[in-house]
Amino acid sequence: MYWTNVIFNGISQKRKLLLHRTEINNWFRTAQQQKAIIVVQRIYQKRRKFKLEIVLAKRRRKVEKRQLLREREAVREIDF
């Protein structure tokens, strides 16, 4: 059984992580191979348990971030 800390309403609580160890290893291995990150997409409650939908997401490169910031600034300048 594996445990993780979940912060809910500012209180850190220990929760069971309901994945098999091999599944956890597969997620981390694919994330490292694809240079991706594991992101929580949705959190919902079913009965007394909180469930998370997790996805693999590709990281943005610094060049892409800079370009995105330039585009946002250009939109702001046009609006004013």
pLDDT tens-place string over residues 42-61: 888 888 777 878 888 887 77
In the chain, the number of structural domains is 1
Label residue 20 by pLDDT band (50, 70, 90).
confident
Range of the domain at 6: 2-79
Q: How far is the first Cα of the chain from the last one, in angstroms, to the nearest whole number?
A: 56
d(Cα 34, Cα 23) in Å, to the nearest integer?
Answer: 17
**Tokens linked to 46:** 């079913």
Q: pLDDT: is 5 or 50 the higher one? A: 50
CB half-sphere exposure, 19, CA atoms < 13 A: 15
